[in-house]
Amino acid sequence: MKNAVKTGLLVRNAAESVDTPKIQRREMHVMSETDLHLFLEYAKDSPYYTFFYLGLFTGMRRAELLALRWSDIDLELCQVSVTRSMQYIQAAAPGNRISFREPKTAKSRRLIALSPSTAITLREHQAKQNELRESLGYPALSDSDLVFSHYDGSPLLPNSVTHAWIKLVRRCGLHDARHTHASLLLKQGVHPKIVQERLGHGSIQITLDTYSHVAPGLQQAAAKGFDELLLLNRQQKEIHLGTVRD
């Protein structure tokens, strides 16, 4: 409509006089460190254990995890490259429901560092996949194979993963993986810019707005750190002055 006003098709843009509704942000429930350990304990016997582990320890989106190939993971350098995501269209013909596409934004295309425990979990997952494929007469995994798939290499359905997640979190009384990863990083004092890069947010403002609930804890930590820094400097100064006087 703005363009129509510019080109003379409209005299004025009626949309400019509309009052936009206020955004109602839902309350965010995230896992604590104890909750996370509890969830992983419950999930140990789940076929999606490594999927959930990687989601919790990297903050990757479900569609990104489902599109992950072994060529996207470097277990020596402990990093994962996010280069695409899965798109599932229920209304499409059976053979065309799943497709893999590049991320929508440049920020979503990113490199995420893996923790040592995550790399170990992925190695174990890879070994189990190869053992299963060998026992069923399938060739060994190649770099182009999906990290998370059925025994024959076919993609997992997004809803199957979601239903398994919901069943587990209800059993434990817990919540969101992606938000949990971000919140725990911020509570550790990790800079929001790093959190933004790991999650693939378009801007740091999105990260700050989404995780403002963590701010009270960060404020307290900042105040405590500031106090400790000044007290330490004062103590060192007093020791120095005492030494000089002596």
Nearest by Cα to 163 from 41, 47, 25: 47
156-162 LR contacts (CB < 8 Å, sep 24+) = 156/51, 156/66, 157/88, 158/62, 158/63, 158/66, 158/86, 158/88, 161/48, 161/51, 161/62, 161/66, 162/62
pLDDT of residue 138: 94
Q: HSE on the CB side for 50, CA within 13 Å?
A: 19
Number of other residues whose CB lies within 10 A of the CB of residue 214: 21
Half-sphere exposure of residue 96, counting CA atoms within 13 Å on the CB side?
3
- Please report the pLDDT score of residue 214 as a whole number: 64
> What is the SS3 assignment for 239?
helix
| Domain 25-240, CATH homologous superfamily name and number | Intergrase catalytic core (1.10.443.10)
Both tokens assigned to 130: 């190869």
* pLDDT value at residue 66: 97
pTM beyond 0.95: no
Instruction: Please say whether the dihedral angle defined by the alpha carbons of residues 36, 40, 46 and 51, taken in this order, is positive or negative.
Output: positive
Name residues whose C-beta falls within 8 Å of residue 122's C-beta, 6 or more positions apart in sequence: 50, 54, 73, 75, 114, 147
Amino acid, single-letter form, for residue 25: R
pLDDT of residue 112: 94
pLDDT of res. 243: 60
Residue 169: what pLDDT?
A: 82
Structural contact between residues 115 and 57, judged by C-beta atoms closer than 8 angstroms: yes
pLDDT tens digits for range 189-239: 788 888 888 888 888 888 877 776 665 566 666 677 777 777 766 666 666
Tens-binned pLDDT, residue by residue, of the chain (246 aa): 888 888 888 888 888 878 777 665 555 566 778 888 888 998 999 999 999 999 999 999 999 999 999 999 999 999 999 999 999 888 888 778 899 999 878 888 999 999 999 999 999 999 999 999 999 999 999 999 999 999 999 999 999 999 998 888 888 766 667 778 887 888 777 888 888 888 888 888 888 777 766 655 666 666 777 777 777 666 666 665 566 555
Structure confidence at residue 75 (pLDDT) = 95
Alpha-carbon distance values, 168 to 29, 53, 163, 177, 183 (Å): 15, 13, 9, 12, 20
Q: Name the residue ranges covered by the structural domains of the chain.
A: 25-240
- How many other C-beta atoms are found inside a 10 Å radius of the C-beta of residue 239? 10
8 Å CB contact between 182 and 212: no
pLDDT of residue 100: 93
Q: Are 57 and 114 in contact (CB under 8 A)?
A: yes
Q: Give Cα 183 to chain centroid, integer Å.
A: 10
